[in-house]
Amino acid sequence: MIMNLTNTKNEDIFKRFYAFKLTILILGIAIFCLATYSYFADNFVLLCCCAVLEYFLLALMIYANYFISSQMREILFTLTDLDKYQKYFEYAYRHAIKQDKKAGLQESYLADAQYHYFRGEFEQSLQSLNEINIKKARWKRRKVLLTSLSYYRMLNKINQKDFSDFEDSLALYRKMKGKHVPKSSAKLLAIYRVVSGQSTDYFERITPKYKLHRIEANYYAALNHLNQNQPEEAKACFQEIANENPELFYVKEAKKHLEELA
């Protein structure tokens, strides 16, 4: 299932992933039938072999889900290809089987919200987030969707300079379960401080893993320098990201600030 994400079309990514999962499902049904036969035939050895194979297929299915998630992270956070990311989820929803339609739609809404957020279309992003119905999502994805919904809702409002319910929203977010919640909470607080005109050393202390997060960190580090009346340091941070994906609002704003600082 290894793919060149830059050149692979969304439909090809989806079809390969779907074909892989379908193959596992068919094999699983066949092995289950064989296990049923071995049970009634009192063939203990064959039954044990079938059980081992079923566990192996289950592991493959878990890997397949992890793999496609990692591929989507790569498209968004490393390639910073907003269109490809959003259109994959749109395609996946439109071509999902009937039983997966409602769950796929919730994933598509989240991808759409992320797409608009990173383009700086904050109101449209909030509208997409408001469409998400957690109860219609897959059970194992509900926690992720809930934390993502709260996270991006706060990011949008901060960048709109709407701080009215930030403290309450952050307090509720910190109580949510999720391995990324503590780090995301710290980032949200740092972004809030910068956008509201305060200062922080957060962006000097972190070393982001993904390209998009590095662009984000440089952008807010630059604003932080402006808050501290350090125009040369701000200019250096803005220059770091000025030639990145022009669709990103970080890049658009960086170019505006560079013109003002020239």
- pLDDT tier for residue 58 given thresholds of 50, 70 and 90: confident
Phi-psi region of 230 (alpha: psi -120 to 50; beta: other; left: phi over 0): beta
In this predicted model, what pLDDT tens digit does every residue of 122-139 receive, in sequence order? 999 999 999 999 999 999
Rounded distance, CA 227 to CA 248, Å? 22
Tell me: the pLDDT tens digits for 29-48? 888 898 898 888 888 888 89
Does residue 116 carry a pLDDT above 80? Answer: yes
Output the CA torsion sign for 45, 47, 50, 56. negative
pTM: 0.88
The span from the CA of 120 to the CA of 253, in Å, is: 9
1 pLDDT exceeds 70?
A: no
Q: What is the pLDDT of residues 5-16, one digit of tens each?
A: 556 777 777 777
Query: CA-CA distance, 46 to 51, in Å (whole number)?
Result: 9
Rounded CA separation 66/60 (Å)? 10
Asked if residue 197 has pLDDT above 80, the reply is: yes
* pLDDT number for residue 25: 83
What's the whole-number mean pLDDT along residues 237-255? 98
